[in-house]
Structure 1
Amino acid sequence: MAYLGNPARTKEIINKYHLSAQKKFGQNFLIDTSVLEDIVSAAGITKDDTVLEIGPGIGTLTQYLAEAAGHVIAVEIDDKLLPVLEDTLSEYDNTKVLNSDILEVDIKALSEAENNGKPFKVVANLPYYITTPIIMKLLEAGSPVESITVMVQKEVADRMQEKEGSKEYGALSIAVQYYSDPRVVCVVPPSSFIPQPGVDSAVIKMTRYEQMPVEVEDEAFFFQVVKAAFSQRRKTLVNGLSNNKELGVSKDMAGDALEKIGRSRTERGEKLSLEEFGRLSDVLIELKK
């Protein structure tokens, strides 16, 4: 199969191009073939699929994706890696590299241009410093994305699939679970990378829901409520919601809404489930009328 998962070959490419991992781009080069195979397997890629890869680096995972997929579009922000990718992907005529910041890419337009408007399967070894903005861009309504299989910091992966009642449960947990079904595929130790990061990583797959598990009257307002609920974790929900000026919710209104969904006025955000946050936002909309 692909050969860049071999540590010796990876080091050869790094030396050939005088590369060093760029901290500003969160670069770590994956050198564990079993993890590479697990990622491709978990993503469920076939020759019928067009894969959108974020941050291909030197093309290690890209090679594995090219073997399995019909087409791979790799978005790389670091222009110094373009000649490297031209070299390592030279044997694959089903790959295309875009030199761009994924946060600035119009994914819908890219899907129209490259995939007949069909949704992508996204696969990536994500930079840890910018994981959440990328995940949210991919999940938000309207993004043509079928599934997202990514390597992230383990604690972030854990947070994505946490349920109410946990200290790790928060706005990211609710957002990811509103749009998708998240499942951790495997935990990846620092020794699987060059250079070695200081933390464990994990591969997580988010399968996008065709229909959201919770129906809300106003999605934007729902997410405002969730954000306000966790922006001051030590405060009660009544205080968190009323302190957020954008919501336009008083303490009495917040307390009344909580009681209407069967919760105490002294409740904190981490105690409410995704479904309860949905009901809370709908009740607040009614009370504001």
Structure 2
Amino acid sequence: MDKRLHSPNAIKEIMEKYGFKFSKSLGQNFLIDGNIIEKICDKSEITKEDGIIEVGPGIGALTQQLCEKAGKVVSVELDKTLIPILKDTLKDYDNFELVHGDILKVNINEIIEDRLKGLNVKVVANLPYYITTPIIMRLLEERLAIEKIVVMVQKEVAVRMKASPGNKDYGALSVAVQYYSKPEIIVNVPKNVFIPKPNVDSAVIMLDVYDKPQVNVKDEKTMFEIVRAAFGKRRKTILNALSSSSLRLEKDEINEILNKCNIDPKKRGEVLSIEDFANIANNIYSK
């Protein structure tokens, strides 16, 4: 077998050996471009001091290079048909550990504290696109001891995460991701470097996770209620959006708060910065 697990020949051989078939429901698309795998690893700046959490390793193409560069790699795989394949393809790496489970349900903190103890933790993965946002938000919201997240996602999702106020792609996801981290798109990935070929192009995005958010927020729940309301109906002004939200404040109260924050009540949510949302939230919380 070709030792390069990203090669089409290796993938074909493994599929035939194990009778493996791609699962559409699990969003399985295997990367076959070694240059992109190398770029992911390089941009992740992986050393032997790092412990890597990988989500959805597939047959181990990215995992293989992660194991060669990192102190330890823990891969979480949901598809039970891939478990024996991974145990075979990565059997030569004693710094590899496989967890059979759902990344949205496994105890990530336990993985960090017990299996990656003493290492700098990074998440590096080619994420299943159908649950990209829930995975990323769980990694960020739980304030885990993770310093960097480098993941392949659908290109339009990466663009939304990176978007700035006033941009058509700017929305609730942009605010949430940028509240917890600094995003950077590091490489665009065309659909033709996957087997099977997906319907969309991809991008690798790097999130440098903040030790603490860059804005001071007294109550995060209040802020994200405001964010959801602001982007829930994009054509509404911020005044009308917040007036019809779960905040249960009268229109004149909201108008007063917006004026206090030097925010035009006629503006729409998509032009407000994270600092604006934090300012509104702090004034509402202090009432």
Shift of residue 278, structure 1, vs aligned partner? 0.8
**C-alpha distance in structure 1 between counterparts of 2:266 and 2:145, whole Å:** 40
Match of 2:284 in 1: 284
**C-alpha distance in structure 2 between counterparts of 1:69 and 1:197, whole Å:** 29
**C-alpha contact 2:49 2:120 (8 A) present in aligned 1:** no
For the aligned residue pairs, the C-alpha RMSD in angstroms reads 1.5
Match of 2:265 in 1: 265
**C-alpha contact 2:76 2:100 (8 A) present in aligned 1:** yes
**C-alpha contact 2:60 2:90 (8 A) present in aligned 1:** yes
Distance 1:2 1:121, change over 3 A: farther
1:19-56 CA-to-partner distances (Å, cap 9, x unmatched) read 22211111100100000001111111111111000011
Moved more, 190-199 or 226-235: 226-235
Match of 1:102 in 2: 103
**C-alpha distance in structure 1 between counterparts of 2:226 and 2:120, whole Å:** 29
Match of 2:172 in 1: 171
Match of 1:14 in 2: 15
Match of 1:55 in 2: 56
1:135-172 CA-to-partner distances (Å, cap 9, x unmatched) read 00001143121110000000100111110001110111
| Structure 1: gaps (5+ residues) | none
Shift of residue 254, structure 1, vs aligned partner? 2.1
Query: Counterpart of 1:85 in structure 2: which amino acid?
Result: L
Query: Counterpart of 2:280 in structure 1: which amino acid?
Result: L
Query: Counterpart of 1:108 in structure 2: which amino acid?
Result: N
**C-alpha distance in structure 2 between counterparts of 1:76 and 1:183, whole Å:** 26
Shift of residue 86, structure 1, vs aligned partner? 0.8
SS for the counterpart of 2:25 is helix
**C-alpha contact 1:49 1:71 (8 A) present in aligned 2:** yes
Shift of residue 211, structure 1, vs aligned partner? 2.9
Query: Counterpart of 2:106 in structure 1: which amino acid?
Result: V
**C-alpha contact 1:107 1:144 (8 A) present in aligned 2:** no
Moved more, 110-119 or 98-107: 110-119
TM-score, structure 1 as length reference: 0.95
Match of 2:235 in 1: 234
Number of matched pairs: 286
Shift of residue 119, structure 1, vs aligned partner? 5.1
Shift of residue 251, structure 1, vs aligned partner? 2.1
Matches within 5 A, 1:118-197: 120-197=121-198
Query: Counterpart of 1:255 in structure 2: which amino acid?
Result: N
SS for the counterpart of 1:249 is coil
**C-alpha distance in structure 2 between counterparts of 1:6 and 1:256, whole Å:** 62
Distance 1:255 1:15, change over 3 A: farther
Match of 2:113 in 1: 112
Distance 1:52 1:2, change over 3 A: farther
SS for the counterpart of 2:104 is helix
